[in-house]
Structure formats: structure tokens, C-alpha cells
Structure 1
């Protein structure tokens, strides 16, 4: 095994970059939270959750025809979940390999951060979802179900069965990868916006697919995105190295 590894082209270690990982909390925390609060206020004030869900329900002929469609259920939901898990497993294996290959030593902390951030983000969303007791649109009266439409802070009658549809669990498999922003901030800062775009786009695609299936409201996805971003930021502030690796930020 040693002889085999000796013939593998060495991994180029990233260059030292002092203070490139320093971030402004006004930009990375205060501004996103402000946008989140404004978006939630607009959704509540204009009833956008209900309007959008009912509009999609009507567009699909007053039944969630996309609930079991190949594109939304099998491709974007099941396969999308599997690909996200596979990507996380790949990052985890790369992190473990960094303990055995000298060429990966400099990447150990960034890979460990990305592994932990994706895991914690998705686990946190799943834990909140398990205890939130919120219904999916497809269970609600007027959207194909029989249960009353209750808000996040409304009291739930004991006569209703338990539910677990808030926040959006599947979307977290995409939004958790917003942590790529901080991974690249530690390694290749000029790629950080592309990393952020990957997480946002994949999360939005997963979220829209679930809304088309009647599984979630718009606000469910917004909460998931907020949870994933703040988790990624918090773990970065905890785990970031004193000096970062990669080329100069631009």
C-alpha cells in the first residue's frame, strides 16, 4: 500500500494566508438575519405560505399530482438525498485520509469543518422537525387534507395526530452545503461565492420540488436555510484556523 501511495501524484498543499478568514459579522450574521426577518414578516403579512401552496395545488388540478411524479419524488427527492449523502461521505473520507497522507495535512481542518457543518446542520433541522408538530400542506383542509391550518405558534388541539413537517428536512440536504462558502474561505477564498451558490441553488431546487409535492410551505424552506447558514457560520467561528490556507481573497 505504501509503494502504491508513493507513486500517486502529491496533493499540492495550499499556501499560508494570514487573516484571510477574518469575517465581518455585520455582513455574515446581521444582514442575513435581517433579510430572514423581513422575508418572514412579508410571508406572514401577505399570507404567502397559503397563497403559494394553494396556487400550486390549483395549478396541479386540485390534487398533488407531482407528489409521486418521477422528477419530484424519485429524482429530486430520493436521488437528490442519496447524492447529498454520498457527497458528505466523500468529504468525510477525504478528511479521514488527511490523517494518513502528508499531502492532505493542510486540508484537515477545512475538511473536518465541512464534514461537521453539513452533519450538524442536517441533524439540527431533523431534530427540530421531529419535535415541531407542524403539518404538511397536503394534510391541511383546502390543500387536500382534513386538518386545520395552524401557524407555528398556534396551539395544536390534542385531537390532531402528531406531525413533523417543519422545517424542511429535504432542503437541508442542499442548504447545508452553504458551508462550502466557509470551506473555500479557508482554502481558496476566490471560490467562496461559487461554494455559496452551490448550497443555495441545490437547497432551493430541493425545496421547490417539495413544495410542488405539497410537502412544505415556503416559510419551511426559509427557516431551513437560516438554520443551515447560522450553523455553518457558528462552526466556522469555532473551528477556523489562526492562519488560513489558499490563495489571496479576491
Structure 2
């Protein structure tokens, strides 16, 4: 027998990761990507004519309007029916979360955390975008003299002239009605991050499509829609940082054998 006991194998742990926290490397990459994309959006809006070129594609100078603004698809379907369905879906989630908060429903702890996450995303994302839009000086394309309006073009970083009439058109409000759908990715967290990423991209795509139709109608520039996508993504990251530990705790409770659970739920999850 050896004089000293053999060293015991230590359980492998991911570098820079602690239980209950998002891996530092992933978080750092996400933050850097958000910073880089914010700078890119600002550069597109301020130093390129991409916004103007895309708007010109849908503007009819002979009639002085954006034909898609008069179409059933652009005005009634995309800006009406589709938006209303998504908005009422959000109200349903918010209402369900509020009811569960007052009179706990028969939800598993993980589903309860996910419902609260979705309710906050559905409420906060459009509210944040709307608040920023109401304080914005930028005008929509239809109001600018280049496209039949009466206001001169003001870029994102331009100084605001004295006596300027605020346009309240940045970021894109309509796109925000669809962008929050990217929060549905939480239904696959924390167990299936790849599927969650795909759902996040799909939800963001719905908002981008809604924003693009608004560009076709002359109601927004591309940079307006991209700014809304950035705000939505940043808000979801903040919510994920807030909810990550409760989500992991609830998921661990689901994986734990039924006989070992205390009261069948994570302490405090139903409060």
C-alpha cells in the first residue's frame, strides 16, 4: 500500500463559469457584440445614405407618395391584423402572470419563471421603445421634404436646430410589437440553448419583417428598425441576467427525483 492516498479525480467545471451564472466568456462576447452593433447602426444612420436609398426604392416621385402605404397588405394586414394578434397575445401573457402572482396557478416552477419572463418582455420592450420614440427629434420619411413632406432631413447625431419641430419617429415603434416575440426563446432555457437561439432569431425576424413593411410605407428608415432590434436584444439580455438563477433553480427542481423535492417546487417560486 502506498504511504499517501492516491489523488482523487475532481469534477470537471467549465472555465470562468459558476453555478447559477451565465458563463463569463459568453456574456463578454454578447456585450461586445451589442457595443459593436450599436456603433454600426449609428454609423449607418449618420454617415451613409443607406436609409435614403432604401426609402427611395419605395417612393413614387410622380405621385409624391409611398404606394405601399395605400395597400391592404401594408396598412391593414401588417400594421393592423398581425400587430393586433401579437399585442393581444402579449396581453394574455401579462394577464396570466398577474393572475398567477395573486392566485398561484398550477404551474411547474420552471413554467412560472418563464411566464414571468415573457410577461415582462411583452410589457417592457414596447413601452421602452415607445418612450424613446416620444422623445425623439427625428422625422419619418413621409414627413421629410425628400419624399413629399415639409421637414428637412435630420440625421441621428446632427445637432438639433433651434425651433425644431420634433418628429417622434426613432426608434421604430411598430417593429417593437413583434420584436418581443424573441423572448419566447426562454421556453427552451436553460436546457436547450441552441434551440433557444433559433427561436430568438425567429422572433427577431418577425419584428424585422414588420419594420421592413413600415419602411416600404415610408413610416421608418432602416436604422430605426435596427435600433429597435438592438433595444429589444439588450433588454432581453438584462432580463436573462435577472432570471438566470431562478430559471436554473427551477430546471434543477424538474430534473430532481419527485421524492426529493420539497413541496414539489423551488422555495419562493410560487410567491
Distance 1:217 1:164 in 2: 13
Match for residue 144 of structure 2? Answer: 140
TM-score by length of 1: 0.81
Would the alpha carbon gap of residues 186 and 21 (structure 1) be closer, same or farther in structure 2, given more than 3 Å must change? farther
Instruction: Using the TM superposition, give the Cα deviation of residue 19 of structure 1 relative to its aligned residue in structure 2, in angstroms.
Output: 5.1
Is 1:36–1:222's contact at 8 Å kept on the other side of the alignment? no
Match for residue 22 of structure 2? Answer: 22
More contact order relative to length (CA 8 Å, sep ≥ 6): 1
Equivalent residues in 2 for 1:95-244 (5 A)?
95-96=97-98, 98=100, 99-186=103-190, 188-240=192-244, 241=246, 242-244=248-250
Distance 2:77 2:227 in 1: 24
Is 2:58–2:67's contact at 8 Å kept on the other side of the alignment? no
Instruction: Using the TM superposition, give the Cα deviation of residue 198 of structure 1 relative to its aligned residue in structure 2, in angstroms.
Output: 2.6
Is 2:64–2:147's contact at 8 Å kept on the other side of the alignment? yes
Would the alpha carbon gap of residues 107 and 97 (structure 1) be closer, same or farther in structure 2, given more than 3 Å must change? farther
Instruction: Using the TM superposition, give the Cα deviation of residue 60 of structure 1 relative to its aligned residue in structure 2, in angstroms.
Output: 8.8
Distance 1:88 1:187 in 2: 24
Distance 1:39 1:161 in 2: 24
Is 2:179–2:206's contact at 8 Å kept on the other side of the alignment? yes
Instruction: Using the TM superposition, give the Cα deviation of residue 125 of structure 1 relative to its aligned residue in structure 2, in angstroms.
Output: 0.4
Give 1 or 2 for the bigger CA radius of gyration.
Answer: 2
Match for residue 49 of structure 2? Answer: 47
Would the alpha carbon gap of residues 225 and 176 (structure 1) be closer, same or farther in structure 2, given more than 3 Å must change? same
Distance 1:116 1:154 in 2: 34
Would the alpha carbon gap of residues 32 and 155 (structure 1) be closer, same or farther in structure 2, given more than 3 Å must change? closer
SS of corresponding position for 1:102: coil
Q: Which runs of 5+ in 2 are unaligned?
A: 1-17, 256-271
Is 2:42–2:156's contact at 8 Å kept on the other side of the alignment? no
Match for residue 75 of structure 2? Answer: 73
Instruction: Using the TM superposition, give the Cα deviation of residue 53 of structure 1 relative to its aligned residue in structure 2, in angstroms.
Output: 1.1
Instruction: Using the TM superposition, give the Cα deviation of residue 160 of structure 1 relative to its aligned residue in structure 2, in angstroms.
Output: 4.2
Distance 1:78 1:60 in 2: 28
Task: Out of 67-76 and 185-194, give the one that drifted further.
Answer: 185-194
Instruction: Using the TM superposition, give the Cα deviation of residue 36 of structure 1 relative to its aligned residue in structure 2, in angstroms.
Output: 3.7
Instruction: Using the TM superposition, give the Cα deviation of residue 146 of structure 1 relative to its aligned residue in structure 2, in angstroms.
Output: 1.4
Would the alpha carbon gap of residues 160 and 35 (structure 1) be closer, same or farther in structure 2, given more than 3 Å must change? closer
TM-score by length of 2: 0.75
Would the alpha carbon gap of residues 60 and 190 (structure 1) be closer, same or farther in structure 2, given more than 3 Å must change? farther
Distance 1:60 1:212 in 2: 17
Distance 2:144 2:166 in 1: 13
Instruction: Using the TM superposition, give the Cα deviation of residue 72 of structure 1 relative to its aligned residue in structure 2, in angstroms.
Output: 0.6
SS of corresponding position for 2:169: coil
